[in-house]
Amino acid sequence: MGTPMAGHLLAGGHPLFVYKRGPLPQSIAATAANLCTSPRTVAEQADVVFLMVPDTPDVEAVLFGDNGVASGLSTGKVVVDMSSISPIHTKAFAKKINALGCDYLDAPVSGGEVGAKNATLSIMVGGCEAVFARVKPLFELMGKNINLVGGNGDGQTAKVANQIIVALNIEAVAEALLFAAKAGADPMRVRQALMGGFASSKVLEVHGERMVKRTFDPGFRIELHQKDLNLALSSAQELGVSLPNTATAQQLFNACAAQGGKAWDHSAMVRALEQLANFEIGQQV
C-alpha cells in the first residue's frame, strides 16, 4: 500500500525521500524520488516522515533500530505512522519521539490496496490538533475520509475497532450467503436483494461478490487481519473487556491459515465456514 501512497505525494508536487527494506518498486524508482540508504537518512532529509510497515515490531525497528528514524530527527520534524499496530506501543513510541523535540501522529488507514491506489483511504489520526492541521494537506493526497480521533494511540484504537467490525461483517455475510446457497437459492441474487435493505454494507457489496465468484486474490490478506485481531484481543485482555465474536472470527481466520490461506483475501473466511458445512457457495444441492 505504501507504493501508491508515496506516488500520490509525488504527484502532489512534494519532494520525496524514500527507503524500502526490499527492492524499490519501479513505479517509484522511475520518478524523481530520492532513494535513501536508511530510515535515518530519510529523517535527516524530510520534514515529515511517513511509515507504512506491517506490524508493531517493524515500526519499532524502523524508528529506534540501528540507523533508525529517531537517530536522524531534528527539532520540529513530524513522524507519521500509517501502519496498523498496537495502540499501547504507539503511545510509548510517541513519547520517545516527543522527547526528541519532534511531533508524532498515528494515522492508520482503511480501504485496502484499492483505496491506496485511488487515494480514497479512510485515515484515522491520533495526535495533537495543530500537528494534524499541518499534515492534513498531505493526508488529503492519499485519502478522503480523514478524522482526528484524539490523542496519540487513539488513531490505532479506531483502526482496531474498524477491523473488529469488518471481520464480524465478513463472518455475517459469509454465514448468510452460505445459508442461502445451501437452501437452494442463488446466492448472487440473494446478495443483490439484500443490498437494498437494512443488511446492506460495503462488505456485502464487495466481499459478498468475491465469495460467490470465488475471487480470493487480495485485497487484504488474511494474515494481516489476523494480526489486527490479535491486537484487538490482546488489548481487550489488558482492558478486561470480553470480545467473544472477535475471538470467533479470529478462529475462522486461523482455520483458513491452517489450510494454506494466509495470503488469501480476508473474504475467504467463508471457506472455513464452508468446510464446517461440507458445502461450497455456488454448489448445486
Q: Which residues are catalytic?
A: 159
Q: Could you count the other beta carbons within 10 Å of the beta carbon of residue 266?
A: 29
Give the CA count within 13 Å in the CB-facing half-sphere of 158: 22
Residues with Cβ < 8 Å from 153, sequence gap 6 or more? 87, 88, 90, 91, 94, 106, 126
Number of residues that this document lists for the chain: 285
Q: Is 124 helix (H, G, I), strand (E, B) or coil?
A: strand
263 exposed, middle or buried (CB, 10 Å; 0-12, 13-18, 19+)?
middle
DSSP string for residues in 201-228: -HHHHHHHHHHHHT--S-SSBHHHHHHH
**Residue with the three cell numbers 520525496:** 16
Using alpha carbons, select from 89, 35, 88 the residue that is nearest to residue 57. Answer: 89
Strands (E), the chain: 17-18, 34-35, 48-51, 78-81, 103-106, 109-110, 121-126, 143-150
Reading the block at residue 241, the C-alpha cell is 473487556
Residues with Cβ < 8 Å from 261, sequence gap 6 or more? 216, 222, 268, 271
Give dist(CA 210, CA 40) in Å, integer. Answer: 42
